[in-house]
Structures are given as C-alpha cells and as structure tokens.
Structure 1
C-alpha cells in the first residue's frame, strides 16, 4: 500500500466506521481495515521486527499490506475481543498470544496518531475514575455510591430519588437476543442480599429537563440536546421517541472536557450530561468509544469530517 495509510481496527459490521472510511476514500487517503479479534488466524499476516531501527515490518490484510513504520493513524473503534475458538488449552493460549502480539504491535506504532490509544481507552472505561476526574476539573457530579453491601445501598437510596446503572456496558442477551441494561429508578425495598454478588453503582437522580451528548474530537466539541418523553430515565431506552437539536457548549464545560481527555490520553470522547432547569450540566459518564453517527444526521453535526481531518493529518494534527 503506497503512502501513509490509516489503519481502522473494528468489527466487520460497523456503520459508524464505514462513514469515516468513505470520507477518507473520498480524500484518497489509503485505508487498511481489520478486525484483530477475528481476522487472525485468517486474512491477517503480521511480520513485525524490533531492533536498532525501532519497529519495522508489515501488516497484511488479504492482498493489501501496510508498512508498520509508515502508519499515519490508527482509528481504534470497536474490534472484536480475542476469544479462543474452543475451551481447549491450546486455543486459549493462541488467543492470548494473538492479543498480546498483534495488539501489542498496534499499540506501539511509531509517529502514529491514535484515535484513541487502546490502552487509554481501556483505562477510561472505569466509571469510578471518570467521576473522580470530572469532579476534579469542576464538572458537577451526582452523589454516587459503589457498593456490594445491601445495608449501605438501602441507606443511600432511602429518602432521595436514586437510579441504578451498570458499571460496564458488556454484551447482554435476553432469550438469545441482544438487550441493554438501562439506568432505572431504585426502590430501597427491592434491595436484597443479591447485591452482595458484585459491586453496584447507585446514583442520585438529577432532576433534568433534557439530556446532552457531547462528542469531542481532538479539540472540537459537538453537542446535541436530546429530549425524551416525560418519565423516561435513560434516553437510550426510547430511541424512536427522541428529538434532537444542536446546542452550544458552555465554555467552562468545554474546558473541562478537554482537560478530561488530556488526563486520560484520549483524542475522542462521547460524554453524557443531564441538564437541569437552571442550566447546570451534570456529568454522568464518558464513553471513550461511544456512538455518534446517528447524531450527525439528527442534529446536523459534522463529526465525520472532524474525525477524518484528524486521521488524515496524523501526528501533525
């Protein structure tokens, strides 16, 4: 592959990545796409060498190849996890070796812009640290409890509107179909000893009048106001009833978001806020690899262009 390619690491079906790849193709920027969790063994061949000259060698996907020392940017979207083909010990060993080998090489590309670095994304997925960092940079954070103690949970949720939400958006299925675990109001009487089975996140419910998703690409901030029907706690549970409009980001919030990304070493973040009647933006969470494609059309936000600009310019950006 001639020139300095952009690597796109994501699952085989990713309409969001497709938008960015189409824009890069339109600009004649070379792109090499792969799904590390599924393409090796398979169509991926890796030959990476480390020595006095640093990292050299090539990554081949099918009949196309990229020189590892010339990759301008890696768009780390949503690659499949490295799972063993079976529970056989040899298959488990192979999956771990591929994760450390291919994943390690992709994390060590010289002079490469990462959107974002896989290890930075992994760190930023921990919500407790998110809340701590957001508060340190001046963003209002709802009172939050993380516990596996039922008595402590009942005490926290008594006398105040409280929601529960998962600490991690892991794959979840009901009857074999994909499902989501949405934020939901908690009644203290429903808290029992099952809470001891794992840690739970309980959070004071913000009396919001609308939600905002703020998508940050580099130093650009794109915000969409999201209105859900009255009584809906988690807008993600009611997509078909939502309305959107672009909204400006307060200067103090924008500054905090850029500091937040810098703290975690990220180039991208999808932030969720609950906004109250007095105009206060309450930080809820950041998804370091969150979805944004539907907002581009719904709220007329040029996010594809911003991402393509960053990837095209690479480390010079």
Structure 2
C-alpha cells in the first residue's frame, strides 16, 4: 500500500532548487507540503502542537491544506526565511514575536514524532561551525591543511611565517557584509605574515596553509550516495567567478568515501556538500562541509542524479 504521509519542505518561495525535487515527488505521487514558516505563519498559515502524558498531536494549516503533523514522513530543511516577526510590528515587539516564533514554531517543526529529517535543523546548525568541521574531519580520517583560528595577531603572524607554501584567510562564517551600502562577499584570499595587523584581535580569524592544488572537488553526499565533480578555475576561490570555472564528474576515492561516511554519521547528517583541494600527487585535502550546500549548479547529469537521490531520501521516510 502506498504511504500517504506527507513530505514537508521548509523553504522560501524563490527556491528554484527545491522545485526540482518537488516535481519529482509529484511524479511519484508523494504528498508534499511547502512551508516558509518565517513568512507563512504571518500570512494565513497556522501551527499548533499539543503535548500530554503519552501523547503528542499537531496540526499545520495552510491556505489549501490541513495536515496532521504526526503523519509527516520526512522534513527537508532547505532555505526557509529567517524568523523576523510580523511586518506590522516594530522595535522590541517585532523582535519578541520573532524570537517566540523561532523557539516556538521552530521547535515544533524540529520535533515532529517519527519524521525523517534531511537534515535536522539542529544538526545543520551544529555542523556549520568551522572548528567543529575541522575537528570532526581529523577524527574521520581526512587530510586537513594546517589551520589556526585565533584573535591573537602574534599567533596569526607566527603561523603565517611558518607555512612555506603560503597562507590563505577565510572567514569562519559568511556574515552579511556591505561596502558603500552594497552587498560584499568576503572571498578566500592569500595573505602574507606582514599583512596581518593588530585588527585580528577584534574577532577570531581563520588562517590556513595554502594547498598546492591541481584542482578543486565538490562531493555532494546524499545518504550513502556520493556525487563528485572536479572544478577547474583560474581563481583561488572558485566561487568568485563561477562563469569561468568548468566542472566534470570525478570518481571519489574509496578512502575519501569512507571518511565522508564517518563524518556524516558523527554529525548525524543525511546530506553534505564537501569541498576538497586536490594536489598534483592526488591527495584530497578537506576544506569544509556545508550541511545545506547548493547543488543545482553542477553539470546537468550530476544535478539530476542528486535530485533523484534526495527524492529517494524524502520518499522513504524514517528508517523502520
């Protein structure tokens, strides 16, 4: 008998990447509910949860549907809007409402009984910390470039001077940044010890030994299925000018695949976008893992395969 339980997709209305998977779920006749809780719960949708001894119930109402939340088989946490509060409120009232929504509605949606999360939002958040990524990568058997995260300028300069192949700087978090009121991205860039000033003391900075790389690799992991693409770019940070990069499928070495599986298991993830720098000798150095990274920019064949794998994850629901 076909499982009639719904898949809940938490994302914003402009997420065209989610649309690819939603179409596949529709083709398989899997019921889907799309919700952007930070917006929709102020625009007609409602969410209720009831807890009693030995019993938990809930209802999600949207403009077109009413769903028993105990009948949700899977939750895909994609790109929901932040909780910012009702637009009709201002100041501390709006901040209060936003925090109540984050901890209330967000807590309900993260605690649906029996649901399979891809990924669970709390696991996503924990896995986004760069220090945790590097620590986990070491334990799981990845090669990791020498790295220092510090707010001590002397430590930073000493580290940079010790790296014969050079050093790169990268932010520990992609914080929104504006220059002359225009959005500005902080890219990975090479630095010299003499360029490191006392401004480092303002906040933690991340410096990493520059890998003598032949190319980059993105490995998209969906459960036990891995999809690798080689990225050739003229830039140190291939994201800087993506129109100049080329991507071709590449096989993932068995040792890297084992480390990926261990990493996902330790951080309780079902999806991860891993970035590697590969040396001319064929050594794969772990750079980072985005637990909710974009994937639809890859070659059409790879993108289609990832979409199918994610659809399979969401359709199967929780392990029995």
The TM-score by the shorter chain falls in which range?
A: over 0.9
In structure 2, the CA distance between the partners of 1:79 and 1:207, relative to structure 1 (3 Å rule), is: same
**Which of residues 199, 213, 219 in structure 2 aligns to 1:214?**
219
> 1:4 aligns to what?
5
Aligned twin of 1:40: 41
Q: Distance in 2 between matches of 1:87 and 1:140?
A: 49
Is the deviation greater in 203-212 or in 59-68? 59-68
Moved more, 40-49 or 258-267: 40-49
Single out whichever of 216-225 and 32-41 deviates more from structure 2. Answer: 32-41
1:25-77 superposed Cα distances (whole Å, 9 cap, x missing partner): 12111111111222222232012111235321211122222210000100001
Q: Which runs of 5+ in 1 are unaligned?
A: none
In the alignment, which residue of structure 2 is the partner of 1:179? 184
- Aligned: 1:240 with 2:243: yes
Instruction: Decide whether the 8 Å contact of 1:246 with 1:300 is kept in 2.
Output: no
Map of 1:249 onto structure 2? 252
Taking structure 2 as the reference length, the TM-score comes to 0.94
Deviation digits for residues 66-94 of structure 1 (CA, Å, limit 9, x no counterpart): 21000010000111111245652222111
Report the equivalent of 1:164: 169
- Provide the residue aligned with 1:142 in structure 2: 145
CA contact (8 A) 1:55 1:68 kept: no
User: Secondary structure of the residue that 1:235 maps to in structure 2?
Assistant: coil
Quote the residue 1:22 is aligned against: 23
Contact kept, 8 Å, 1:215 with 1:223, in 2: the verdict is: yes
Tell me, in whole angstroms, the C-alpha distance in 1 between the residues paired with 2:115 and 2:227: 25
1:193 pairs with 195, 198, 215, which one?
Answer: 198
Q: What SS class does the counterpart of residue 241 from structure 2 fall into?
A: helix
Corresponding residue for 1:154? 157
User: What residue number does 1:123 align with?
Assistant: 126
Q: Is the 8 A contact 1:222 1:301 kept in 2?
A: no
2:210 maps to 205
Counterparts of 1:269 and 1:59, CA distance in 2: 28
Deviation for aligned residue 1:159: 4.6
In the alignment, structure 1 residue 226 sits paired with structure 2 residue 231: yes
CA distance in 2, matches of 1:163, 1:70: 48
Distance in 2 of aligned mates of 1:284 and 1:15: 27
RMSD: 1.7
